[in-house]
Amino acid sequence: MIFLKTEDEIELLRQSNLLVGRTLAEVAKLIRPGVTTVELDRVAEEFIRDNGAVPTFKGFPNPNGGSFPCTLCTSVNDQVVHGIPSERILQEGDIVSVDCGVLMNGFCGDSAYTFRVGEVSPEVEELLKKTKESLYLGIQQAVHGKRVGDIGYVIQESCESSGYGVVREFVGHGIGHEMHEDPQVPNYGRRGTGPLLKSGMCLAIEPMITMGGRQVYLENDGWSVRTRDGKCAAHFEHTVAVRQGKADILSSFEFIEEVLGDKAI
């Protein structure tokens, strides 16, 4: 069932999502060669709790048993999504996708950003730029009267025409009181298909784009997803409210970009 949000509820969603943006900015301050992903996770959890919220990923149940052990998903290089923070040390030239979710005042925030660790190759740089660009192309379609397939179509067309792979197994989603609500929002699709978009729908749009083939596999930890060919993947995510004429982006990369300065993607 798809729930339309009131204006008051959208503002509560905005506050939760702005906290995610601020948390990702705290993480951005730390990302450099030599840091571990579990260090990033500790800082994020402390910041979220200090601001009166709880991390929604921590304790999230796995359909196959167990639950996610951390606050952040930190996916390095060929990990696409759901990487578990660990003592892994980030190296010069790595990329790390950091996905973060919070629950505050009864509403969820969800956003992701892929960071460079030091200097990366031009090919990886282009992957990040194209993935982020495709996110905003998708957001342009999140308006009253369009359909979910319109969002996926433009993301898929943009990325595949540049030679990148579009992951099929993991998709965006509705968001509200729960982190994952209807409808699913794939990063591929056909124009004019899928659920009708209506003002008040809130969606997490999140392209997961690979440098090579789109095939992925699940690691033995039951969470981390990797590209089958071992090539890098990027992931950017915003939460938006569907409106007449133009989507309303509830999350923000501005806090991150203030930290990164001229090194922002």
For residue 39, give the nearest of 86, 82, 84 by alpha carbon: 86
Asked whether residue 232 is domain-assigned, the answer is yes
Q: How many domains does the chain have?
A: 1
Asked whether residue 45 is domain-assigned, the answer is yes
The 10s digit of each residue's pLDDT in 185-201 is: 999 999 999 999 999 99
Asked whether residue 21 is domain-assigned, the answer is yes
Asked whether residue 242 is domain-assigned, the answer is yes
- Here the CATH number for the domain that contains residue 55 is 3.90.230.10
Range of the domain at 13: 7-263
Q: Provide the H-helix boundaries in 64-204.
A: 122-140, 148-160
pTM: 0.97
Mean pLDDT of 110-118: 98
pLDDT given at position 123: 98
Specify whether the CB–CB gap between 134 and 209 falls below 8 A. Answer: yes
Asked whether residue 111 is domain-assigned, the answer is yes
Asked if the bond preceding 85 is cis, omega within 30° of 0, the reply is no
pLDDT at 183 over 90: yes
pLDDT given at position 64: 85
Q: How far apart are CA 210 and CA 166, in angstroms?
A: 6
Q: How far apart are CA 229 and CA 163, in angstroms?
A: 15
Asked whether residue 2 is domain-assigned, the answer is no
Mean pLDDT of 86-96: 97
Q: How far apart are CA 74 and CA 224, in angstroms?
A: 9
Asked whether residue 229 is domain-assigned, the answer is yes
Asked whether residue 1 is domain-assigned, the answer is no
